[in-house]
Structure 1
Amino acid sequence: MKLNTLGLPLKETEVLVTELNILLANFQVYYQNLRGLHWNIRGKRFFDLHVKFEELYNDSQLKIDLIAERVLTLGGTPLHTFEDYVKNSKLPIGKNIHNDEEAIVLIVNSLSHLLKIERVILSQSSEINDEGTNSMMSDFISEQEKTIWMMSAWLEQEI
């Protein structure tokens, strides 16, 4: 079995890079959705949600950078064009959303989709003892699960 300079198997690491790039594309769409929600939200909850959406997109921006840097660390090239993001993302586009509940539902659904991708990556990285990717995915998963719980509580819905 051929190993890269990190001691990880080449073939499996290439598969992992592909999955990380898919996560990157989905995160970019999620980030842009959050920007749109931040700009377009209206109503009596404007002040609270405007700030919350900014907090979420700033966090997403940090995660996007971490994902891209992990792709580079593993020897890959991060996706970096809007064409690549749209092609590789399965997230719905949140266009012209002004309603608070519609916005929160979009966030919950988007995070649920991101979690699915992250769990696949976590499983794959665990199989090859890639602790760097494991740690990053574990951190993302625990934070996003908490956000889903909080957003679901706001919506008065069960998880």
Structure 2
Amino acid sequence: MDAKEISLNEKAVRPIVDMLNDYLANYHIHYQKLRGCHWNIKGQNFFTLHIKFEELYTEAQTTIDEIAERVLTLGKPPHSRFEDYIRASTIKEVDTIGMADLDMVDEILADMAKLIELERELLDATEQAGDDGTNDMVNRFMQFKEKTTWMLRSFAGKK
């Protein structure tokens, strides 16, 4: 399949596919960080954050699949190796073993800020290319992260 089969201009969509692959790479690192936080959370916020991190990594897993499938819909292969994710991601891995609970929340908030930044760039690019399908998908992901950011900031007592 290629973009023209779904009435999109191949040349206009090519940069979007590259952006989606970078977005996918960042999401994979974020996902693994959420898993690490879920596995390694300790302290008085254990019960609350253990459940929340599981909710977030489950949502991230679904999102990752949708991003990869959108790349395929646009006619290109998605990144599928951790080597590619680590190389392309601006979100960096962290060791969550022994990390304080609220430091974990801060890490996740930083990831979400970066993902939202990437989403806003994607929204601009997809709008210019007339790629409403990708635009709708990314907008939905961004809205989820905006609300989750508000909730995590409230949990952590931040403005």
Q: TM-score range by the shorter chain?
A: over 0.9
Q: Deviations over 1:23-53 (max 9, x none)?
A: 0000000000000000001001111111110
Tell me if 1:119 matches 2:125.
no
* Partner residue in 1 for 2:7: 7
Moved runs in structure 1, 4+ residues, more than 2 A?
Answer: none
1:45, 1:141 → 2: CA distance? Answer: 26
* Partner residue in 2 for 1:40: 40
Contact 2:17 2:71 in 1 (8 A): yes
SS in 1 for 2:75: coil
Q: Deviations over 1:83-103 (max 9, x none)?
A: 000000011212134311100
SS in 1 for 2:4: coil
* Partner residue in 1 for 2:133: 132
SS in 2 for 1:35: helix
Tell me if 1:28 matches 2:35.
no
Counterpart residue type for residue 96 of structure 1: T
TM-score by length of 2: 0.95
Runs of 5+ consecutive residues of structure 1 not aligned to the other structure? none
SS in 1 for 2:76: coil
* Partner residue in 1 for 2:71: 71
Q: How many corresponding residue pairs?
A: 156
1:80, 1:34 → 2: CA distance? Answer: 19
Identity of aligned residues (%): 41
Deviation at 1:132, TM superposition (A): 0.6
Contact 2:33 2:96 in 1 (8 A): no
1:96, 1:144 → 2: CA distance? Answer: 21
Runs of 5+ consecutive residues of structure 2 not aligned to the other structure? none
Counterpart residue type for residue 141 of structure 1: M
TM-score by length of 1: 0.95
SS in 2 for 1:65: helix
